[in-house]
Amino acid sequence: MTSKNYIAIIISIAVIFFFIGYAVAGFIAGSPTGEKNKSYQAGWDAARQKLADSGFLPSLSAEIKSISGKIKAIDGHRITLETGLLDPLADESLTTRTVIADESIRVYSLEQRDQNEFMAALDDYNKKIQTQLNGQTQAQTPLPIPEMFNKKEIAFSDLKIGDNINVSSSENIKEAKEFRVTEINLNRP
């Protein structure tokens, strides 16, 4: 026998055992009472919890208080927001969330600063940090890092379907399908 024949035999045996294993697993797991789905969900939840507890995927246990997405609908002060998944193991229904804003919500339009102005502010910041590091001055309060965007307050009614926004909340919104927000930032080009 040649090596090609051995490889063909090994592949054939592997394929046969794969199909036998698949058929047996389907027979054992299947049941008319839906126990298959319950067992699967319990295993999924246990694996997810084990990953979160291990710290292997820190995003699984971290609180989320801000999220970005595209406005799909606006109904009064309720926004339907299409987002990406924050957690690779999250429920896929969390790609659509409902944002609730009260009458006092602050909405800002983020406008990119002039590049030269931003670079000058960044150079000034770096000089101040360097002076502090060299011990030439005492830091009274932490220096704010220069912002790349200017915030301009706008009305809630200025938001439109298709706009990309970032919303902030005072609560953990990681797995919230609907939540109240404290601030909305509009990101228009």
pTM of the model: 0.61
In a domain, 168, yes or no: yes
Q: How many domains does the chain have?
A: 2
**39 and 79 co-located in one domain:** no
What pLDDT score does 80 carry?
A: 96
What pLDDT shows up at residue 69? 94
DSSP-derived secondary structure letter, 77 = T
| Structural domain harbouring 16 | 3-57
Residue 173 and residue 105 share a domain = yes
**Contacts of 91 by beta carbon, 8 Å cutoff, 6+ apart:** 175
pLDDT under 70: residue ranges of the chain: 1, 3, 6, 22-37, 44, 48, 51-61, 86-90, 136-140, 189
The two structure tokens encoding residue 109: 């339009």
> Which pLDDT score is estimated for 17?
74
Cβ contacts of 150 within 8 Å, gap of 6 or more? 110, 111, 112, 113
